[in-house]
Structure 1
């Protein structure tokens, strides 16, 4: 039996995205989007990185580094959480790619 999906509206750097996810993952997606938005704002506000793509890459690298550090300290995520995080990351990247096509 397939899990019911829901559409979630998120806002990252003043841009809105609609992303489908399993209904049970809605809260995690909203939390992830909020974290990503915070990290991207911090990077943008430094003024050192210009462009949505570059800001997104820097945020992803910083978050990956944080994850690896916590993992090496024995605070790593469980296997299931890693899979869900990767799936959400791919959905956000897909939404960003779709947004770029709309802007062109």
Structure 2
């Protein structure tokens, strides 16, 4: 297990996570925080608790809708984004290694 420092809604949290799940957890953090920011920008929901609940509810609804419709498009897109992020990281690390 690894301890990760994450930020959601401007608040810092430390959570434990298996090392092999770190990348997917960070993507989940980014998804949730992005959804929260979107709800805040719309200005229709007031209060941190309500905004967080609406964001979580929206994400859960989307996941269940995909599951019930038998659509794996969301997971395919998620995997593609993860692979792209890994490629970007690998390229950045390669360039970083050249500096030393």
What are structure 2's unaligned runs of at least 5 residues?
75-100
Matching residue within 46, 54, 63 for 1:50 = 46
Cα drift, residue 75 of structure 1: 2.4
Can you give the 5+ residue segments of structure 1 that lack an aligned partner in the other structure? Answer: 78-104
Tell me which stretches of 4 or more aligned residues in structure 1 moved more than 4 Å.
none
Q: Whose Rg is larger? A: 2
TM-score, length-normalised on structure 2?
Answer: 0.67
Bigger relative contact order, structure 1 or 2, given CA contacts below 8 A and separation 6+?
1
Length-normalised TM-score, structure 1: 0.65
Find the aligned partners of 2:23 and 2:47 in 1 and give their Cα distance.
Answer: 28
Q: For the aligned residues, what is the CA RMSD?
A: 1.8
DSSP-derived class of the 2:70 partner? helix
- 3-state DSSP of counterpart to 2:46: coil
